[in-house]
Structure 1
């Protein structure tokens, strides 16, 4: 796990590639993640939930037939949406979203600044070839880290993300084997096909890439998730993973998105985030509570006085790695730039920075009002200031 954030003694309990040192067995037995119709996430008691839904399980042949039918939809000829795509491209913002709250289109000055930054990144990059792929390497120094936190130019995100994710490509030596494994896994059956298919239509639906049912974007998403369910059989598939895979597909081709997802699980121990019982999720709640108590003591006291704990609102934050409509997309990209550099720990400081940004609104609100705000899509007023908080949370000490 990367350590560019420096030594933070408050993190006495960290997410690692191994199982959590904290015993959460009693807290997490018989729990699962479910989604509401509005896309929000909640941890539920699986045992009680199942007891209330006593229905005979489908026969094996019925299940297999349904899975085959679903796969057929994704493997048949894609729908012809050329006319619709032309309209969508005209209406989409710079990132491809068609939402009503359309992101601003960069003016001439901003476009020139983006081009200038892209040129600087080109000057830092060196061409490399590994496992038959054309890649880029960078020298990781203070300048590189500073530029990551300023935001990686869109045209460099694919290569920069993969470089930092794979520890300077050192962990990418077996990517050719992963790509071959991907093809094999796609040819095998998966018991998670039905649930994946149910979740895909409500994943990033406002983006032109995933808008068309059984279109190219949804096909790629279905394939990546189906293959991954065979890679990590204990996790299989969990709601929340669709957003993460979709985020990767916006910048990577299908095979690269799969290998990136595998590297994310291996580097950051994401297995424990999604495995039944969700030990890393519970650990994240614990760490966030301790950080809020240290850096935002006044807010910590208020939230606890009205029974608003991290577990009450932050499931969506961590289980989707902030991709589930937690913040606006331009802010999410900045967060993920830092994530690939730093590892999963950076999300704890993203949470603290969000709470700091909305601290005064939260301090004056009741339980219901706080939950409404924290469950919404938060608009960060200044991404640069926000990322400075993420990088240097120590500046919050004394700002209570």
Structure 2
């Protein structure tokens, strides 16, 4: 069928690139077709205008509605890969967690854009070889196999969507081998190393997160998101039911507290270990003193948060990670990740003979296999309950020792 009205168009700027907007009319209905030119805004206005005129002419000369419909089905073929992926993730935003969305966005804005944009790779020109070259570059940057798999997964999901919507005919990633996940061996501290860490962290801002990591195996998001209302001093229970994460809002990174956990199993109620109870009570008293001292300057927004600095600002997960690394370096302690405190806690429980099922519940793993796969290689000994075992191991006096270390006294 014929286009019954003249084709018009204009240029718009999106993400630093010129896009063409074509106004075509088919069967009396207006169709707006948006396509990228692939041209950066800087110093490319005349070139973009030329592309616009060529596209207007292309649509103006197309007299069959079927051709226009096919063009509409293929609109995104000429989009840069990074732009197509950005749109794909935006459409999924309401169906994935904010942390996942932020992670995907950073992956696209970072390595994916840096590698593919200079090559002008579009969703339609992507080849298996380009994907393999990209994954090789990720490996060359020192990223582990898990990171490589995440990139493979997000690119694969995008391409699968492109095939389903007829934007491309074939999925090039089907000809690319999925990166193999290297066998994971958890790093963890010995008992002596853990006690030394607790002693060194005693007067640091990250002390409470470290304490919670060692005794409860809390993830950094769980430790920084812990609420005073979730610590039941009367019934000696601690409810792990909030987490903190960082999100970029209008270009500014902000800390968000949510009760939506990683999995349903992440929400758990555990016994409040006496030594941890004592430290939390001391910490709560200090917070009250800081609040009175700073007066109106004290941040009231995070009043219910356990992990805040003297001015009332919440400790972000990223701050804890960086501060933890500095703490280890300053005191000459063996380098591990903060997350390895979780493995340290689990290793203590395994060594004391706590059944894997109980360790799964203690750590908040969603499946038994996750716990078993990570920790089954560790030796087991006597039986015992998690709370008493971890407390006795880290705070009980050893047989024949004349005096407990300072940290054992304080705990």
- In the superposition, the TM-score normalised over structure 1's length comes to 0.22
Which protein has greater RCO, CA pairs closer than 8 Å, 6+ apart?
1
- In the superposition, the TM-score normalised over structure 2's length comes to 0.22
Q: Which has the higher strand share?
A: 2
Rg (Cα) greater in structure: 2
